[in-house]
Amino acid sequence: MDKVYNKDTATMIWRKFLEPDFATAVLSNADPLTIRSIRTSFTDGVADLNPASSRLWHIPAILPDGWALYSFDMLKRRIVVLDPAVGPFGFSNRQVNMHTYVSDKLHSALFRCLQIMFENCHCSCGEWTRSFPVLMIENMEKYNYGAGTTFLAWNFDGEKFQIPVMKDNLERHKNWLLYEVMRTNGNKSMIPSDAIEAIKGSFLAL
């Protein structure tokens, strides 16, 4: 779905998603490139592209606290940690330590994979910074962490969130996401058209 709504060009990819199994493999000390779907996700649609011309590389991860997103900003050479478990009061010392450890491992693995998968890779892994933005003005329930992570990924533009991280906006996003999944090409589930339209009517349609 992200490919459909991205405003990419032949030479610039706005954001690139890697599947969660990438983080799972890395944190298990396994080689992520031994997994075929991960190898494919690196070059899918961008085989001839310099990875540095992608603004954001998003890596979702499932952690003990729930889902989190690590956004690698190629323009500013920084890792932005987006964690829906962090409320309006910011990261605890424990959370900072955990995300520092995880992001360090993902950082090393990502650039190793980029060097292997792209002959024209001209991006460096040195001198990167890390940021821990406070995302929400409200706490998010744990059962929403998964959907919340997709909300953060789709609305983060590298500097800020295009849509505020609030419960009402998250509910609209969940309805919209369900609607888009239902009408995705290749979806073979038998879903009545009136059910899809009912979901569509519960939020602001495109």
> Per-residue pLDDT tens for 55-93?
889 999 999 989 999 999 988 999 999 998 887 888 999
Q: Which two tokens stand for residue 22?
A: 């990438």
Tell me what pLDDT residue 110 has.
Answer: 94
Structurally, the chain folds into a number of domains equal to 1
Maximum distance among all alpha carbons in the chain? Answer: 53
**Is residue 172 situated within a structural domain?**
no
**Is residue 157 situated within a structural domain?**
no
State the pTM of this model: 0.80
Tell me what pLDDT residue 107 has.
Answer: 96
**Is residue 152 situated within a structural domain?**
no
Residues near 9 by beta carbon (within 8 Å), at least 6 away in sequence: none
> Per-residue pLDDT tens for 120-143?
666 677 789 999 988 777 778 888
Q: 4 pLDDT exceeds 50?
A: no
Q: 187 pLDDT exceeds 70?
A: no
Q: 11 pLDDT exceeds 60?
A: no
**Is residue 146 situated within a structural domain?**
no
**Is residue 77 situated within a structural domain?**
yes
* CATH number for position 11: 3.30.310.130
Tell me what pLDDT residue 70 has.
Answer: 97
Distance CA 3, CA 17 (A): 10
Q: 36 pLDDT exceeds 80?
A: yes
Nearest to 169 by CA among 198, 137, 142: 137
Cβ atoms 82, 136 nearer than 8 A = no
> Per-residue pLDDT tens for 101-123?
999 999 999 999 988 888 766 66
Tell me what pLDDT residue 5 has.
Answer: 45
> Per-residue pLDDT tens for 138-182?
778 888 888 888 888 888 888 888 887 777 888 888 877 777 777
Please give the residue range of the domain that contains residue 86: 2-137
**Is residue 105 situated within a structural domain?**
yes
Tell me what pLDDT residue 47 has.
Answer: 54
Strands 129-131 and 13-17: unpaired
Tell me what pLDDT residue 63 has.
Answer: 93
Tell me what pLDDT residue 20 has.
Answer: 93
Rounded to an integer, the average pLDDT of 1-13 is: 51
**Is residue 98 situated within a structural domain?**
yes
**Is residue 55 situated within a structural domain?**
yes
Tell me what pLDDT residue 34 has.
Answer: 92
Is the sign of the CA dihedral 97, 98, 101, 104 positive or negative? negative
Q: 2 pLDDT exceeds 60?
A: no
Three-state SS sequence of the chain: CHHHHCCCCCCCEEEEECCHHHHHHHHCCCCHHHCHHHHHHHHCCCCCCCHHHEEEEEEEEEECCEEEEEEEECCCCEEEEECCCCCCCCCCHHHHHHHHHHHHHHHHHHHHHHHHHCCCCCCCCCCCEEECCCCCCCCCCHHHHHHHHHHHHHHECCCCECCCCCHHHHHHHHHHHHHHHHCCCCCCCCCCHHHHHHHHCCCCCC
